[in-house]
Chain A
Amino acid sequence: QTVVTQEPSFSVSPGGTVTLTCGLSSGSVSTNYYPSWYQQTPGQAPRTLIYSTNTRSSGVPDRFSGSILGNKAALTITGAQADDESDYYCVLFMGSGISVFGGGTKLTVL
């Protein structure tokens, strides 16, 4: 079974830049997986940040950007702010018709 991998945790300083990644246990992530990214704070429903690799969802600040880096999808936060401290999840669309979430990355801003 395909596993989508993410860093369990990451920390960034306020104003700093951080790149979170989304990989596959076997193989490379490409745009054909339509990677998307979601932000979730405790007790809240997730919020859509990025879809189709690099398209920002409506209202998402441009300090959030998506890309393919090497064999993984990536979410970069430039100029991190305190309220960016959240859990971040990627989702990959599999050719079989199902989608699979990564395990999530807990981002700390300190």
Chain B
Amino acid sequence: EVQLMESGGGLVKPGGSLRLSCAASGFSFNNAWMTWVRQAPGKGLEWVGRIKRKTDGGTTDYAAPVKGRFTVSRDDSKNTLYLQMNSLNTEDTAVYYCTTQARGSYYLGYWGQGTLVTVSS
């Protein structure tokens, strides 16, 4: 059974940093493209960023609102995905989901349950 378990969410002050983790199991993590998606309270879903598998270059892409502030990384030895978030502002307050992203067809297949990040003074 595929499982994605996010952790690391919490309350952080504006301008602060936070690192989210996503522990994966039940599938070949090192073969997967992985993505972060977020959802602000009462708002829609927003694609945040993606990392390809290492054999595809391990490259990353980011949505414009987070580019230069957020970094997606992975540790295949630990089956874990990360999202380093710097220079946080109140608009980054959201539930953050990790998902798999299919190579070739690009859809978001499996989803975690999400972790809440609140940016507030």
**CB neighbours of B114 from chain A (8 A):** 45
CB-based contact B45/A38 at 8 Å: yes
CA distance A81 to B64 in the complex (A): 38
Give min CB distance, A53 to chain B, whole Å.
9
Q: Out of A36, A93, A101, which one reaches B44, CB within 8 Å?
A: A101
CA distance A38 to B114 in the complex (A): 16
CB-based contact B107/A91 at 8 Å: yes
The interface bits of chain A over 25-43 (1 if a CB of B lies within 8 angstroms of the residue's CB, else 0) are: 0000000001010101000
CB-based contact A36/B112 at 8 Å: no
Query: Which of A1, A40, A57, A99 has its CB near the most chain B CB atoms (within 10 A)?
Result: A99
The interface bits of chain B over 70-107 (1 if a CB of A lies within 8 angstroms of the residue's CB, else 0) are: 00000000000000000000000000010001100111
**CB neighbours of A38 from chain B (8 A):** 45, 108
Nearest to B45 among chain A residues (CB) is: A101
Give min CB distance, A22 to chain B, whole Å.
13
**CB neighbours of B106 from chain A (8 A):** 34, 36, 93, 99
Give min CB distance, B74 to chain A, whole Å.
17
CA distance A89 to B107 in the complex (A): 12
Q: Out of A52, A91, A100, A103, which one reaches B108, CB within 8 Å?
A: A91
The interface bits of chain B over 26-65 (1 if a CB of A lies within 8 angstroms of the residue's CB, else 0) are: 0000000001010000001111001000000001011110
State the B residues within 8 Å of A (CB).
35, 37, 44-47, 50, 59, 61-64, 97, 101-102, 105-109, 111-114
Name 11 A/B residue pairs within 8 A (Cβ), A-sorted. A34-B105, A36-B108, A46-B108, A46-B111, A48-B108, A89-B45, A91-B108, A97-B59, A98-B47, A100-B63, A101-B47
List of 3 A-B pairs having minimum Cβ-Cβ separation, nearest first: A51-B107, A36-B107, A93-B106
